[in-house]
Amino acid sequence: MKTAKDILGKVEGLPHAQRVKVMIELGRQAARTPRIAAALAELEGGSCHERCLALHACYGSRDHRFVGRSLADASATVRGQALTLAVRILPDDALCDALFDAPAQDRRTLLDGLTRRGRLTAIDRFAERLAREDDRRLAEVLPRASSAVVQRHLARWRALATPLHWRSLARFHAGTATGELYASLAAADASLPTLHGIYLGVLEGLVERHPDLALSLIEFAGTYDFRPPVDVLQRLFRLRPVPTVSPLLAHPEAGAPSSAALGRLEVAQLRMILRERPGLVRHDLSWFRRLPAAARDELYLRQRCALADEACRLSPEIIGRLSAVHRHREARTHLELPSLAADRAARLRYAAFLPWEEGFAFLEPFLSHSDADLRAGALQSLVRMTAYEPAHLGRTLAVLAARRNDQDPVRQALFRALAAFPPGRFDEAHLGALEAIIRAALDAPDISWTTSGLLQQVVARLLPRFPAWAARQLAITVAERGVLGIPDMERRIDDAQMQALGPHLAPVVKTWAGREREYFLVILAQRLGRRLRVFPELVRLLERIATDSKVQMHAGEAGALLWRWQPALWHELAPRMIHDDPSCLALACVIRFANAHRQDLLTPHLEARKMPKGRFSSGKTGWVLPVHDGFGRWTRRQQQVFARVLVGLASEKDRDAPAVAGALARLARIPEADVAAVEGLANCENLFTRGLAIAALARWDDDAGLPELARCMQDDRASVAIYAVLRRIRRMSAPAALAFLRTVPLAKVTVAKEVLRLAGSLRTDAALAFVLGHEASATHKDVRIAILRSLWHFLDRPAVWDLLLRVVVQDPPEVAFEVAGIPLDELDAAGLERFNGLIMALLDRGGPDERVRVLTGLRDRPLFEVTPVLARRLAALCDTGVAPERRLAASVLLRFTAPGSGAAGILQDAVAGLSADPEKLTSLVEAASWAAPLRPRHLGALLRPILEGLGAEPSRVHVAARLAAWTQPPQDLAGLFDAWAVAGHFGAHVVVALHETAGDWVRIRPPDQVHAVETALSASPHVPLRQVALSLLCAQTARAGNYDVSRRARLLAFRDDPAVEVAAPAAFVILPPLPVPPSSAPHGSS
């Protein structure tokens, strides 16, 4: 081949895959054939399609110079192909240069590819260059470098890194990341608020690859009141269920963990969960059946009450998984419960767990009951009971056969139970009776589709054990019902079983084909799925449907099934279908196949505006080829022809809006489309079409749409264009993006705020200068807020803090109070101090509504440090502010004040000053209730001096008691209560206050602590303390869901209390009947 024209002529009529193979071979020949090399060089300067062909040749030629140049190509299609090639063939030096110049999105793609291929040397060189040039991108790149390079530049990196970068470091260098975090937390001058974001980033990076390190970090950081996110704990529980139990139970917001992971726990961990947080596992008991039989029995024996509901009833799901001796005892216990005396349906369900003879005697009256629901329940229980004692299966089948004339709902319940019956329990002797039951169901005139599907499931479960019988029966049911009613049939059988079933189904499908029941055949094929590979008779019928059917849905579904399960056949069939009947292009499976594998077949139909005449069209229907993506696989001519058709469609004045939108969206995806036509549409009078055209220009494959977008920014189209161009700007390099933003006029508020926000996100010195240059002239509040948020990316610059302070002091409140939203994760200690100064300035101005916003933001931060200056301002708000301010200010103080600090003394003085005002004191108590579960380690020590002061006043003891209940250790709490009782301060008002808050008390404190307090108070000689102990017992029972043996015994002891104030309330706590206590007798068989 002498020229690029020769190459283009050779590949023009080939499908994409063959074009690529030809170009790769030409690339291999280029090294020894100068003419081919010259032709490929000519292609490198051609259109997008030609440049892509030249890149394909690089797989053979290994021409890294052209690949390197293509990384800066204007076309996203060319760049995407070059990115894939670069990680394979570019040398390290070239990769270093490419990474340095690449936009952020392309740089991440390159780094991901290099990491996957293990090319750390190239990443190391790039990281070294960034470190030499003091480039801020080092924060993003260094975590992917080798360990030696990471250690060399870690100090510089730490000053630049955000939590996201720490996450990356933990992912690739777990030991380094955790070591640095441990050292930072243990340092004497550690600033915990600045480390909390790092902790979250490291934890997120460790979860998937290093779960054990993540668990160690959670345990260590817990000493600093760092709480892991719930979703992290849930993921860790799936990976390491046993060691994750403790942190999961300690998290107050923890949700139900994975049932599959629960089934992998030891009995000790399950007992701990059931004892402390039973609500986590009782909503879904499927985990119970995953346990070994011995573990199920042990858990039942030790935690029977924790598994039961408030009426001491166990779920049938649990009873059914117990060994025989426990199963029988629980069945008898439940049948004797008064709460079930009036619920016959529930009694029938529990009767399934009795010994067979005893259970049959119980069920027999209901088998012929006049109530159909009771008959159905009795039949289901009979079948389930027989599963435990299969020796009685013959009698059970005889009973079922006797009910052959029952109505369909009863029959449906019967087959639902049989579908769950273990197939291994059947013997050859049972098949005759089962066949009679099936025959009777098929003969019933009222049989429903649901019942027939369940019937087929019963037969399908027997295929592995009795292949010949089950195959014959299944074929009979399919033939008589006209459908295979098992949606997941392909998962229920394997290829060998399908081969046994095939000969029986073959006559059925042949009959259906003769009667043109295409829908039945398609549904059967969908249900069989991958088993079509060994059912050639049905495959041939699907081929006939795809090629001959006049029903578009049937032909399309048949073709899709063939493509998925018989790809070789479909690759041969689809081109023949297009050749014989072009209207087949209306089938989704055909057009997608042609677009992916045989683009050459589309050429004759690119300009068609009417659907080709054939099976699915009369030739008069308006139509455009239904292809929406993958245009990069087309030739240049194909792209240009189809683009002209789409432009014509979008230009029609009477065309409906969805059609115009679809045409313009497709145009933006065609690399060789002519941008001039879309530029014209961007200037049309139709506002809908104009907006879509502007959006298409912003998504254009290359930069050809940028000039028109720049013009759009100059007129009334700017408010639409600025949002359309956001995605393209994010794909640019920082200098190019800033250069474009400089050309945009900022007269419109909508445009100005987006431009300034985008400029700030570039994080370069030039971008900061651009933002600051417009700050002085910006007057609109939305624009100024956008400037503030863009400056959050530059909080390491002192000049930015000076500007923020000026904004806080001088700007209107609606602008100034936005400063309170500054993210703390990227602040160092000095930045945090400056932030505290801004908060102080904000709290000194504005009204309560603005201050409430600031206080809410502070309260909801994961970690924060209250300085003495800020503590004094918050204490003043606790005294002078309105009610919401008081609560929020107290919440911030209680959550973030460190014991022994200067702020702690200020808090104690503030409470002493508030003690005379009940309303303000109540706000403090509400704040403490909110903060208590968030600071379980330190809040007690912080409040102890306050409690002693409040407890000295009889009229304030009830407030002190509530605070103490939430925050003090059990032994200290009991001592405080006893001291107040001895002093005569523990009156009825204290008992009432604690009774009202007992539920919160139990929710906040761990169960063992609550039980310890109850035990101590119940032994007190003071009646009010024993009354509080009774309230605690009732609250614990409400949280656990029932009275177990221990709680029942404690309640009975309260009923015997000599004080009527204790005994009378205890007597009116209604206890459900006590079930027969499970013994530890030897386990029976399951």
User: Which amino acid does the sequence have at 871?
Assistant: A
Residue 4 scores a pLDDT above 50? yes
> For position 828, what pLDDT does the model report?
78
pLDDT digits (tens, 9 = 90+) for 544-559: 999 999 999 999 999 9
Predicted pLDDT at 1085: 36
What is 987-1004 written as a DSSP string?
-HHHHHHHHHTHHHHHHH
Claim to verify: residue 748 and residue 789 sit in the same structural domain: yes
Burial degree of 67 (CB within 10 A; 0-12, 13-18, 19+): buried
Q: Mean pLDDT, to the nearest integer, of 873-883?
A: 86
pLDDT of residue 1013: 93
Average of per-residue pLDDT across 240-252: 91
Higher pLDDT pick, 1084 / 98: 98
Place of tokens 């052209």: 66
928-957 mean pLDDT: 81
Per-residue confidence (pLDDT) for residue 81, from 0 to 100: 96
User: What pLDDT does residue 987 have?
Assistant: 92
pLDDT in tens, 994-1017: 999 898 888 878 888 899 999 999
Q: Which of 193-202, 464-473, 822-831 has the lowest mean pLDDT?
A: 822-831
CA distance 1058 to 1053: 10
Residue 969 covered by a domain:
no
700 three-class SS: coil
Q: Report whether pLDDT(1074) > 90.
A: no
Q: What dihedral do alpha carbons 723, 724, 725, 726 form, nearest 10°?
A: 50
699's CB contacts (< 8 A; 6+ apart) are 668, 669, 727, 728
Count Cβ atoms within 10 A of the Cβ of residue 620 and give its class: 0-12 exposed, 13-18 middle, 19 or more buried. Answer: exposed
Q: Which position has the higher pLDDT, 621 or 361?
A: 361
Q: What's the pLDDT band for 1080 if we cut at 50, 70, 90?
A: very low
Of the three residues 251, 269, 284, the one that is the final residue of a domain is 251
Q: What would the mean pLDDT of 337-345 be, rounded to a whole number?
A: 89
Judged against a pLDDT cut of 90, whether residue 969 lies above it is answered with no
- Give me the pLDDT at residue 1082, please: 41
Question: Is residue 1084 pLDDT above 50, yes or no?
Answer: no
Q: What is the mean pLDDT of residues 340-368?
A: 94
Over residues 761-791, the pLDDT tens digits come to 988 999 999 999 998 888 899 999 999 999 9
Helices 636-651, 687-698: crossing angle, 10 deg rounding: 160
pLDDT surpasses 90 at 529: yes
CB 565 within 8 A of CB 532: yes
Residue 897 lies in a domain: yes
Q: How does pLDDT run across 94-131, given as a tens digit for each residue? A: 999 999 999 999 999 999 999 999 999 999 999 999 99
Phi-psi region of 62 (alpha: psi -120 to 50; beta: other; left: phi over 0): left
- Say yes or no: 748 and 686 in one domain: no
Closest CA to 995 of 1029, 957, 1037: 1029
Expressed in percent and rounded to 5, the helix, strand and coil fractions of the chain are 75, 0, 25
Among the candidates 686, 713, 731, a domain finishes at 731
Q: Phi/psi class of residue 148: alpha, beta or left (left: φ > 0; alpha: ψ in -120 to 50)?
A: alpha
Give the domain extent around 736: 732-794
Average pLDDT value for residue range 946-958: 86
DSSP code for 1079: P
Same domain? For 779 and 840 the reply is no
Average pLDDT over residues 1066-1073: 83
| pLDDT band at residue 1078 using 50, 70 and 90 as cut-offs | low
Give mean pLDDT, residues 720-724.
89
Q: CB neighbours of 567 closer than 8 A, spacing ≥ 6?
A: none
Does 13 lie in the same domain as 103? no
* Average per-residue pLDDT for the chain: 90
Q: pLDDT at position 603, please?
A: 94
Smallest CA-to-CA distance from 722 within 765, 753, 760 is with: 753
At 188 the pLDDT is 63
Instruction: Answer yes or no: do 654 and 722 share one domain.
Output: yes
Least confident of 49-53, 135-139, 920-924, 1077-1081: 1077-1081
Task: State the alpha helices, DSSP H only, in 447-531.
Answer: 449-461, 467-481, 489-492, 495-514, 518-528
User: Stretch 164-173: mean pLDDT, rounded?
Assistant: 96
Asked if the structure places residue 884 within a domain, the reply is yes
Q: What is the pLDDT of residue 1081?
A: 42
- Single out the residue of 47, 50, 455 nearest to residue 39, CA to CA: 50
Pair 724, 741 in one domain: no
Start-to-end C-alpha separation, the chain: 79
Q: What integer pLDDT is reported at residue 302 of this predicted model?
A: 86
Do residues 379 and 403 make contact, with C-beta atoms less than 8 angstroms apart? yes
Q: Classify residue 1019: in a domain, yes or no.
A: no
pLDDT digits (tens, 9 = 90+) for 5-53: 999 999 998 999 999 999 999 999 998 899 999 999 999 999 999 999 9
Q: How many residues does the structure list for the chain?
A: 1086
Q: Which two tokens stand for residue 29?
A: 């020949």
Pick the more confident residue, 629 or 941.
Answer: 629
- Do residue 647 and residue 725 come from a single domain? yes
Shared domain for 638 and 715, answered yes or no, is yes
The alpha carbon torsion through 971, 977, 981, 986 (nearest 10 deg) reads -170
Residue 532 in this model has a pLDDT that exceeds 70: yes
Q: Which of 794, 813, 840 is the last residue of a domain?
A: 794
Q: Which two three-digit tokens encode residue 519?
A: 């829908």
Greater confidence, 697 or 190? Answer: 697
- Residue 614 has φ and ψ, to the nearest 5°, of 170, -150
Q: Has residue 915 been placed in a domain?
A: yes
Same structural domain, 752 and 716: no
Give how many domains the chain has, as a whole number. 6
> What are 615's two structure tokens?
């099976």
Q: What's the burial of 577, exposed, middle or buried (CB within 10 Å: 0-12/13-18/19+)?
A: buried
Query: Are 673 and 770 contained in the same domain?
Result: no
Distance CA 504, CA 478 (A): 10
Quote the pTM value. Answer: 0.84
Which among 976, 916, 920, 981 has a CA at the least distance from the CA of 943? 976
Measuring CA to CA, how many Å separate 173 from each of 143, 154, 205, 375?
7, 12, 10, 65
**Do residues 4 and 83 both lie within one domain?**
yes
Taking residues 885-911, report their average pLDDT.
86
| Residue 280: per-residue pLDDT | 87
Domain-located, residue 131: yes
Residue 590 · residue 578 · CB < 8 Å: yes
Asked if the structure places residue 768 within a domain, the reply is yes
**330, HSE (Cβ side, Cα atoms, 13 Å):** 28
Are residues 16 and 108 both part of a single domain? no
Q: Given pLDDT bands bounded at 50, 70 and 90, which one contains residue 825?
A: confident
Is pLDDT above 90 for 442? Answer: yes
State the number of CA atoms in the 13 A half-sphere of 812 facing the CB.
9
Is position 228 within any domain? yes
Count of beta carbons in the 10 Å neighbourhood of residue 960 = 27
User: Which is nearest to 860 in space by CA: 830, 900, 903, 820?
Assistant: 820
Render pLDDT for 388-421 as a digit per residue (tens, 0 to 9). 999 999 999 999 999 888 999 999 999 999 999 9
Confirm if 814 and 823 have CB atoms less than 8 A apart: no
Check pLDDT > 80 for residue 937.
Answer: no
